[in-house]
Amino acid sequence: MTEKTHKGVFIIGTDTGVGKTVVAAGLALCLRDRGVKVGVMKPIATGCLSSDKRLYSTDAIYLFEAAENEYPLLSNPIRFRNPLAPHVASQIERTPVDMKKILWAYHEICRLYDFIIVEGIGGLLVPFMDNYFVADLVKEFNLPVIIVARGNLGTINHTLLTVQAGVNRGLNILGIILNGVPQANLSMAEVTNPRVIQDLTGLPVLGVLPKLSDVDVDHMLFGSLKKTFSEKIKLDTILSPG
């Protein structure tokens, strides 16, 4: 556990592909717009691409660009080629997960920036190594959590399981963001999920972020993300959780 609680959030998902990167980038854009010096970090990325024999993560670069940070090696210290859980990717690639490197990078980012946004990989129980999971890193960083979930049918179960896992591990969960909801012709599940999830978890739904056609992580397009995020998400609740 870190000795000091730094102001920031750790963004995790109920699953892979739920839009953590878009949510993290939207938050970074809005904080920058408010004049906050924000640092971003994706401690481990898998499924990385290669260029000049170096691996890079498009998700990490998207966050880096959104926050206009200056230190890419701090933002994404560990990268693997295979699109697998870090523990599995590290075994296949015969490269151990270097926790000392991750913790050093985190503390450096905390020193350089006023607010820290950390994007996890997958959900809370994605393994980094034997008996060490994303949830353990959240506790190491000592940051409150925002859960990103899908808005469609099935998300109640996934979200409640994630909340239960976080509460059982003593994590501070600020709230839940539902992401990628259609802007029209919503299903009954998409209409009712925010209220039901809030009632069942006792946690605030911080907002519902619609699917945005002009936002593309792979092509570094931010489009209307900042405007929509500022309109749809309760930023003040995130910034002032107490």
Instruction: Indicate which residues carry an active-site annotation.
Output: 42
Which sign does the torsion angle of CA 132, 135, 136, 140 carry? positive
The CA distance from 196 to 156, in Å, is 8
Q: Give, in order, the Cα–Cα distances in Å from 85 to each of 19, 24, 120, 211.
A: 17, 20, 11, 26
The CA distance from 79 to 81, in Å, is 7
Which one, of 56, 96, 92, lies nearest residue 76 by Cα? 56
Tokens of 75: 């933002």
Which sign does the torsion angle of CA 38, 39, 41, 47 carry? positive
